[in-house]
């Protein structure tokens, strides 16, 4: 019959280096017996005293870690910042990038938009989990082996510029650039895969293919310039009046052609309109045009207003 002390010793010694196990066992057993004896001498019941002593010594794994001078943390302060910075850097763009690429490829290879989006989201999630897991495993191993990282010492030169003035975060810029990128991708993609087909099963572009002569390349150029504006904004760290002016010009350069093309019925593919009877009826096409124009005006107006408010608020 094994006593509680035997079980406690076995549990502790399990994770103590083998070379020192026997010695620690003898010493710890004697110490426990001394402690129990100290209590029973005061008139306490032996079994209760044993329980109390072992409770006082606490979790055997914790005690063993103290004997072995082992760290009870996955990633300690020496490695934590390096781990956290690397995680943020990798997770900030790799999962989204891979997800969008896989989503586009899935869609382009003949899947539906829904399947493309679904596959993209799942892949992005899997990539994020894989990155988190492997980075953490590597750092946990470094922690255990106490490998020096030899990272450059921090110095004042590493201080980010404009810190007190920065009003625009990288996340905002990344979101805007991603949105603009997707919009450009859509303008191109709708020509090849709109998910509307003719009676013959051929692809039917949403926008009038004749626009490729000038207006679609022009709109795409405006969007590319808008991406440039996002980067300029990030470099400056905040909205300034020159940036607002550029924003107004770019918004007008996008909205005015879209509104004009819509109001003259030149935006949508005539074959597409012919394909949907509903659009041909009564004034439905005018309603759709009005909605597109209203939406375009609203988005452009809101974007400009937002930049003006932010510049006003952050001035000086």
Using CB under 8 A, list all residues that contact another protein. 24, 26-31, 33-35, 38, 56-58, 62-63, 66-67, 69
Q: Read off the tokens for 261.
A: 């093309």
Q: DSSP characters for 216-260?
A: HHHHHHHHHHHHHHHHHHHHHSS--HHHHHHHHHHHHHHHHHHHH
Nearer to another protein, 65 or 225 (CB): 65
Angle, helices 113-145 vs 77-108, to 10°: value is: 160
SS3 24: helix
Nearer to another protein, 68 or 274 (CB): 68
Provide, rounded to whole angstroms, the least separation between the CB of residue 226 and another protein: 52
Q: Which residues neighbour 287 within 8 Å (Cβ) at sequence distance 6 or greater?
A: none
Cite the DSSP H helix spans in 41-112.
46-57, 60-68, 77-108
- Asked if 107 contacts 115 with a C-beta cutoff of 8 angstroms, the reply is yes
Nearer to another protein, 8 or 234 (CB): 8
What is the greatest pairwise CA distance in the chain? 103
Torsion of CA 143, 144, 148, 151, to 10 degrees: -20
Provide, rounded to whole angstroms, the least separation between the CB of residue 55 and another protein: 11
Nearer to another protein, 25 or 90 (CB): 25
Nearer to another protein, 26 or 92 (CB): 26
Provide, rounded to whole angstroms, the least separation between the CB of residue 39 and another protein: 11
Best CA proximity match to 247, nearest among 180, 293, 299, 300 = 300
Nearer to another protein, 27 or 286 (CB): 27
Q: What is the Cα–Cα distance from 239 to 241, expressed in whole angstroms?
A: 7
Nearer to another protein, 56 or 281 (CB): 56
Provide, rounded to whole angstroms, the least separation between the CB of residue 63 and another protein: 5
Provide, rounded to whole angstroms, the least separation between the CB of residue 26 and another protein: 6
SS3 25: helix
Provide, rounded to whole angstroms, the least separation between the CB of residue 12 and another protein: 10
Provide, rounded to whole angstroms, the least separation between the CB of residue 49 and another protein: 13
Nearer to another protein, 27 or 265 (CB): 27
Provide, rounded to whole angstroms, the least separation between the CB of residue 30 and another protein: 5
- Asked if 53 contacts 33 with a C-beta cutoff of 8 angstroms, the reply is no
- Asked if 285 contacts 291 with a C-beta cutoff of 8 angstroms, the reply is no
Q: What is the Cα–Cα distance from 267 to 208, expressed in whole angstroms?
A: 6
């Amino acid at each position: 019959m094994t006593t509680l002390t035997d079980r406690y010793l076995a549990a502790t010694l399990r994770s103590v280096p083998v070379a020192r196990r026997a010695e620690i066992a003898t010493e710890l057993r004697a110490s426990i017996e001394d402690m129990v004896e100290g209590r029973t001498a005061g008139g306490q019941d032996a079994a209760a005293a044993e329980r109390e002593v072992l409770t006082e010594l606490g979790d055997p794994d914790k005690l063993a870690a103290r004997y072995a001078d082992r760290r009870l943390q996955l990633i300690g302060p020496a490695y934590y910042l390096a781990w956290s910075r690397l995680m943020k850097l990798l997770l900030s763009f790799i999962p989204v990038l891979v997800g969008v690429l896989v989503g586009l490829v899935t869609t382009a290879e003949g899947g539906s938009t829904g399947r493309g989006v679904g596959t993209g989201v799942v892949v992005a999630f899997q990539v994020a989990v894989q990155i988190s897991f492997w980075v953490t495993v590597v750092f946990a191993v470094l922690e255990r082996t106490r490998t020096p990282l030899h990272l450059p010492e921090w110095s004042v030169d590493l201080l980010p510029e404009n810190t007190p003035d920065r009003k625009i975060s990288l996340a905002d810029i990344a979101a805007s650039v991603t949105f603009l990128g997707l919009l450009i991708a859509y303008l191109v993609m709708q020509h090849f895969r709109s998910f509307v087909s003719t009676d013959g099963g051929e692809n039917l572009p949403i926008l009038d293919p004749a626009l490729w002569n000038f207006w679609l390349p022009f709109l795409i150029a405006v969007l590319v310039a808008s991406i440039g504006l996002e980067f300029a904004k990030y470099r400056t760290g905040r909205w300034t009046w020159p940036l607002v002016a550029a924003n107004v010009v770019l918004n007008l350069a996008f909205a005015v052609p879209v509104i004009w093309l819509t109001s003259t019925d030149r935006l949508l593919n005539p074959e597409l309109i012919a394909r949907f009877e509903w659009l041909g009826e009564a004034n439905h096409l005018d309603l759709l045009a009005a909605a597109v124009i209203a939406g375009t005006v609203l988005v452009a107006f809101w974007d400009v207003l937002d930049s003006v408010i932010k510049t006003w608020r952050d001035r000086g």
